[in-house]
Each structure stands twice: as structure tokens, then as C-alpha cells.
Amino acid sequence: MPKPTKGPRLGGSPAHERIILRNLASQLFEHGHVVTTVTKAKRVRPLAEKLINRAKTDTVANRRIVNRTITDRGVVHILFTEIGPLMEGRDGGYTRITRIGNRKGDNAPMAVIEVVTEKVSSKAPASAADAKAQINTATEVADAKEPEVKEVAPEKTEGDAAIEHNTLAENAAADAPVAVEQDAVEAEEKTQA
């Protein structure tokens, strides 16, 4: 006995639901993103990901399988020539759903579903041994750098120390009247405010 699909039913009949999902997937590939309800975005995501996975390998068989779902030849061409090669290094997660708030009128939660175009970031090491090897190579590279040369200050004599002490005392004495004047100016500003 035929059973209805699990989850939300879009459009009423199963045929109408399939048409809605095909059209959403087609528009997603043509424009790169589609603004729709969160429910429709969640329902079209698996279909779009399966089609993109087929488009990663451009064969006649894969084109025919995709043509069963997407009947627009221009969109199929975009899928196989632009989107498929872009996703070559990616194992999944070809689409992204971002919620954008509720629609004015019926307050339906809206979302943008888009094709992810960013490059895949480098993967984390698969095992602890790989992680340890990466850390070891990083420390070897750091050790291979030229050693830093420290400058040695010339030794001070008693005469130099006395001169330095006198200049510090003169600087402190010169700064003292300025500090007193600044305190007076701040006090006047507080009284005026």
C-alpha cells in the first residue's frame, strides 16, 4: 500500500509537491539562492544535494538522471559546468539554509537556501598520530629559523649613573607644575558643568 511521504506536505497532492520541489531546485541552481519558507527550504535541500552530487561527475548517464528531475536544459548545463566542478573537493554540505525572519502577512518563517561557493577549508587531522606529526613539523620549522641576536648594552660607570639620576630628577621637577595646572583646569571644568 502506498504511504505518503513523511514530513510536511507541500501543495496538497504528491504530484504538486514534486513539482514545487523541482521548481525550487531549478531556481536554486539558476540563481544561486532562493528565498522561501523554512519548511520548503528543508524539503528541497536533500533533492538539491543529490543533484549536485550527480553533477560532480559529468557523464551521459548522470545528465540523464538529472534531466528526469530538472527539465530545463540551460539549468542542467549550469549545474554540470559551473556548480559541479566547484564542488569537486567537497564531500557534502553543498547548500546552506539561513533563516531571515518571518514573512509580513502570514508570519511564516522565511529562509534563504543558497549554494555554498566558498572553498573547502583544510581538514583537521584524521588521527592523533597525524596531529602529532603536524605539531612536530611546526616546531621543527620554528627551530630552523635564525637565532635572535641580543644586543649587549655597554657597562655603565658611576659617572653615567649620576648623570642619569640628575636628568630623571630634572624631568620629574619639570612635569610637576604641569600636573598641578591640569588638576586646576579639571576642577574648573567640573564647577562650570
32-59 per-position pLDDT tens digit:
999 999 999 999 999 999 999 999 999 9
Contact 70, 29 (CB under 8 A): yes
The model's pTM: 0.60
Tell me which of 73-82, 99-108, 165-174 is least confident: 165-174
CA-to-CA distance for 46 and 134, rounded, in angstroms? 36
7 pLDDT tier (thresholds 50, 70, 90): confident
| Pick from 15, 22, 20, 74: nearest CA to 50 | 22
pLDDT (tens digit, 9 = 90+) per residue, 113-163?
Answer: 999 988 877 665 556 666 666 666 666 655 555 555 566 655 656 656 555
With cell 520548503, the residue in question is: 40
77 pLDDT more than 60: yes
Under CATH, to which class is 14-115 assigned?
A: alpha beta
22 pLDDT more than 80: yes
DSSP per residue, 40-103: HHHHHHHHHHHHHHHHTS--HHHHHHHHHH---HHHHHHIIIIIHHHTTT--S--EEEEEEEEP
Q: What does the domain layout of the chain look like in residue ranges?
A: 14-115, 150-193
Contact 10, 43 (CB under 8 A): yes
